[in-house]
Amino acid sequence: MRAPASLRAVHPLGKSPVITDDGRTIAESGAITEYLIERYGQGRLAPAPGTDDRLRYSYWLHYAEGSVMPLLVMKLVTTRMPRMVPAVIRPIARGMTNGLQSNFVDPQLKLHLDFIEAELAKTTWFAGEEFSAADIQMSFRSRPRLRAPA
């Protein structure tokens, strides 16, 4: 599906989310978050540079899209695909997507969600004891319907 012309006018790929600020166009939620915190945060929503909490902050800020979001997208696609193909091939599509889910997607999601839970058991928030933009990036994780089967 092609992005709407209004988005392509702002970004050549029609990326969303995208912001424009002071003549700059920034796409990708992690880059947008970093830009906004650096430009307007006034020391809020990010731990101090050079600290262990800042390392955790950077990790979780990028983990959200780089590690766990691809699995969530795979789960979404494999869940919806059988309903989107012609009825005559739905049994084949269902078999393929069920196999992919049970042999790869669900075990990987469980691994990642267990890791996330274990890490959150160590601190109040993802980057330490203070709420940060890393928690905002990771907020999609809190929806129980996204949990992988046990």
Give average pLDDT by consecutive 10-residue segment, the chain, 150 residues.
Answer: 85 87 92 95 95 97 93 93 93 94 96 95 95 92 45
Of the chain, the end-to-end C-alpha distance in Å amounts to: 34
What is the spatial distance between Cα 92 and Cα 70, in angstroms, rounded to a whole number?
Answer: 24
CATH of domain 52-146: 1.20.1050
pLDDT reported for residue 142: 43
Tell me the per-residue pLDDT of 83-94, one tens digit each, with 9 for 90 and over: 999 999 999 999
What are the extents of the domains in the chain?
Answer: 5-40, 52-146
- For residue 44, the SS3 value is coil
The whole model's pTM is what? 0.81
**Tokens, residue 98:** 């069920």
Summarised one tens digit per residue, pLDDT across range 103-115 is 999 999 999 999 9
